[in-house]
Structure 1
Amino acid sequence: MTNSHHDQHRPAPAYRDATPADVPALVDLVNSCYRGDSSKQGWTTEADLLDGQRVDADGMGALLDRSDTRLLVAEADGDLVACCELRRDGEDAYFGMFSVRPGRQGGGLGRIVLAEAERSAVADWGSRRMRMMVIRQRTELIAWYERRGYKATGNTEPFPYGDEAFGLPKRSDLEFVELVKDLPVGGA
């Protein structure tokens, strides 16, 4: 039985940078969003394109050790509900490994976490543009980013076939497309 007036609206997440203590939870979150049956609970997944893991503890730890990279986490109700990689790249910020817990997808959480990532890239690094690489075959995800102001540049990168750290491809035509968005200068 629920009688709380808070049940109607979930609280806004709290944001912070990931720490080494978060690595097991982050690996679980990221892999649950991208691969396997759990990922199919959300509205977008790579499970039909790739098997295997998206990231392991060593890979996550290596990201945390990079001086040009932050792992932004979003927590709600004491639970890690989303994360993303932000990497400083000159005047650009690179956005990657975006993960929203499958059971929380489709309710606006991804949109507000993406907006926080953009805001923090401008505030913390003075970034003028956000870049990302998305698998070309993830058309519904690309459309979601386009609705948030991202545009395809026409630049592509090959999928790293043979590197199991990126997963086990189920098809031979995978490639990444670059999406970019200009960020407001001066926090406007």
Structure 2
Amino acid sequence: MLPIYLASSSPRRSMLLEKLGLPFTVVVPRVEEGVQEALPPHQLVETLALRKARAVAPSISKGLVVAADTVVVWHDKVLGKPADTREASEMLSLLSGNEHEVYTGVAVIEKPSGRRVVTHERTRVKFRPLTAEEIARYVATGEPLDKAGAYAAQGLGAIFIAGIRGCYFNVVGLPLARLAQVLKEFGVDPLEYVQNN
């Protein structure tokens, strides 16, 4: 099996990739996460995921570089990671009682061939109405400050989620079903690996 390199500093993505049962090495990409041009959400996350994968690929002689990028979208407004507690509160106020979308771009580059696959996943998430006190107390925990959309579906933010349509793992930051299908295009089948090891 080709070695797998996860181009991410996110402990959540490492935790999710571990669920596939495949061995991998984390390599933190050194990239700017912003883009100059205005892009639709699916193109934005694909562009950023590919940028991360390309940043790591030159340091790999053989294997698959896997990268991802996630954004939350409310009424066509992209909500990335909040800059501070005020912005986190504003984002949660927007999401309160509303449905929003979570997009994650996934990029896989094979070395040394340079072959690549770039795709994305979209999930719809519905928040229950939140009170100002709930928002303030949640922001005070610090959990929202490094999360797209200012919440963690796998953490305390789960108590705000009334429903999810689509891939839950996408909301956490790595759509596992989509990634597994992409890996199979490169001859890496998680089920086959687990059965043989």
Give the TM-score range, shorter chain. under 0.3
Scaled by the length of structure 1, what TM-score is found? Answer: 0.25
Please identify which structure carries the higher helix content: 2
Please identify which structure carries the higher strand content: 1
Scaled by the length of structure 2, what TM-score is found? Answer: 0.25
